[in-house]
A and B are shown apart, each in its own frame.
Chain A
Amino acid sequence: MKVPWTPDEMMTVAAARLLWDGCVCFVGIGLPSAAANLARQTHAPEIVLIYESGTVGTHPHVLPLSIGDGELAETATAVVPLPEIFAYWLQGGRIDVGFLGAAQIDRFANLNSTVIGDYARPKTRLPGAGGAPEIAANARQIFIVLKQTPRAFVPRLDFCSSAGFMDGRGARARSGAPGKGPQVVITDLGVLRPEPGSEELRLVGLYEGATVDQAVKATGWPLRVADTLEVVAPPTHEELQVLRDLHARTKDAHSRPVSVPY
């Protein structure tokens, strides 16, 4: 029997499947956090989750709304100062996978989360880079999660907040960035990976029901497509159940009134 699911659920499940047991994952808020915790509660119980607030090896029962909810600290192996997270753990080379999202991505997986329009007079001021520039540079590999639309998949970024493969063809390796850079982009249609050599993103997989035509139309540059496309399996019953339970617990926790001793 087929179970219907949302695009967000498919993306979360696809991202979670890429994480392996024991991997050290630098997690961002939102979909990456859901994916990492889904992995931890299904096939990767020994995954190490690090949030930039300084929580190392955290096991949250509900998803945090912010990157520094108390839930993360209370369930962590260690809570360390923020400068230490970036210096010793990230720059120190301890992170296997960094998860990033963005408002815009280009064909070399460079990301913009800073502004739409001109920096000095922006049309839309976005939150900014946060931890992304150094996560993108220092994590061994980067997974990107982003819905595929022509507004997000642009020929040219308005601003480069974090570097993927820069101009491609080895530019990243020459820059001195220690990590290998983006290895996969998970969208609501399928999966893109950098093509060896050119380092340009190429469609390599589609979800059940999604088409190449859809992916091409949702991309603001002429999208390269692999000769054989993987069909990404839909979410299993277990994956959906665990994910939905997680979201339900989270919603409940976040709407609970907070009392303050004053």
Chain B
Amino acid sequence: MKLTTLHDAIAAHVRDGQTIAMEGFTHLIPFAAAHEIIRQGRKDLHLVRMTPDIVYDQMIGAGCARALTFSWGGNPGVGSLHRLRDAVEKGWPRPIEIVEHSHAGMAASYTAGASNLPFGVLRGYIGTDLPAVNPQVRSVTCPYSGEKLATVPALRPDLTILHAQLADRSGNVLLRGILGAQKEAAMAARRLVVTVERVVDELDASMNAVVLPSWIVTAVACVPGGAYPSYAQGFYARDNAFYLAWDEIARDRDRFRGWMDEHVLGTRTHAEFLRGLGVPAAEGGPSAAEVIQ
């Protein structure tokens, strides 16, 4: 049975020291899964995400990460990720190794991983200092034209974690809206854990919909609101006010720790987390029977 609880999915598949990609470009960010990893005290993780966003700011500030592979590390539309900055600038709560790409480079890395190729190729990084600080960025000469092109090694995470709108009872997963590099990260990973808004009898997917078939999905857990404060198209909007508020919460170490203690470590489930923040429960929420699998 692929359908499980979030607690059990994280306990079964997340190990200290793993390389974990939690994708979702602004949309469908797996916050509930990240919080559960923090609650379970996993550490020494190599976190991979194009945009670390608040989700990795929290994991880095909580001390889960030894390394970060990324391509843009800000709070979108707001400014800095203060916990990421503190780790890079001051080594708090522990030093972090960074592997820095451009978006196009990282997308090519995932695509190469998904394609089982050793590297991705792009007309990229031209004239920049990134190759000087990231020795993974190299080049190859095109055998046809002689053009020098940038290369990036394939990304093959031990585990990719995604959030999606729907799964059916067999564990087939449907995503819609802004996809980021979710499909590539899913196909590049050795294992794939997905949280979803709803579990339904029929996905009722249109012909070219993005469906991850159950046989590439390791485990599915139903976690309504699991992408909050990011969003799930068709279910709820991005809480832009929270992203603005995070700037103040994360700026100060003690305030951050207090917030995490109260809202993440002090709660057992995502529903408790949402209630604790006072997030209004929308009409048409799932019934208890849908949530408890």
Interface residues of A (CB under 8 A from B): 29-30, 52-55, 64-70, 72-74, 79-83, 86-87, 90-91, 110, 114, 119-134, 136-138, 159-163, 166, 171-172, 175-178, 253-262
Contact = CB atoms under 8 A, between A and B. Distances in A.
B266 interface: no
Interface centre among A55, A82, A137 (most CB of B within 10 A): A82
Contact of A133 (B124, B179, B243, B283): B124
A19 B242 CA distance: 33
Contacts, number: 240
Interface centre among B111, B181, B237, B270 (most CB of A within 10 A): B237
Contacts of B127: 110, 137, 160, 162-163, 166, 171-172, 175, 177
Contacts of A138: 123
A137 B178 contact: no
Contact of A82 (B25, B102, B125): B25
A76 to B, nearest CB: 9
A64 B242 CA distance: 14
A29 B77 contact: yes
Contact of B180 (A82, A132, A178): A82
Contact of B126 (A80, A176, A260, A261): A176
- SS class, residues of chain B in contact with chain A: loop
B72 A259 contact: no
B36 interface: no
Contact of A68 (B27, B73, B84): B27
Name the 10 nearest CB pairs between A and B, nearest first.
Answer: A68-B26, A163-B127, A127-B74, A130-B72, A66-B76, A65-B77, A83-B107, A262-B225, A86-B104, A259-B282
A83 B111 contact: yes
Say which size band chain B's interface belongs to: 35 or more
Nearest to B100: A128
B229 to A, nearest CB: 8
A81 B27 CA distance: 12
Contacts of A137: 123-124, 126-127
B135 interface: no
A54 B71 CA distance: 16
Contacts of B229: 258
Given A83-B184, A175-B127, A67 B225 contact: no
B263 to A, nearest CB: 15
Contacts of B181: 81-83
B179 A79 contact: yes
- SS class, residues of chain A in contact with chain B: loop
Contacts of B282: 259-262
Interface centre among B27, B71, B126, B270 (most CB of A within 10 A): B126
A86 B107 contact: yes
Contact of B224 (A66, A73, A161, A262): A262
B183 A261 contact: no
B130 A161 contact: yes
A253 B237 CA distance: 11
B235 A261 contact: yes
Contact of A259 (B111, B177, B280): B280
Contacts of B77: 29-30, 64-67
A132 B280 contact: no
B108 interface: yes
Contacts of B147: 176
Contacts of B236: 258-261
A119 B74 CA distance: 17
Nearest to B241: A255
Contacts of B271: 262
A248 to B, nearest CB: 15
A66 B26 contact: yes
Contacts of A126: 74, 80
Contacts of B129: 114, 119, 159-161
Interface centre among B26, B100, B128 (most CB of A within 10 A): B128
B88 interface: yes
A131 B103 contact: yes
B233 interface: yes
A100 B51 CA distance: 18
B153 to A, nearest CB: 16
Contact of A54 (B89, B122, B179, B242): B179
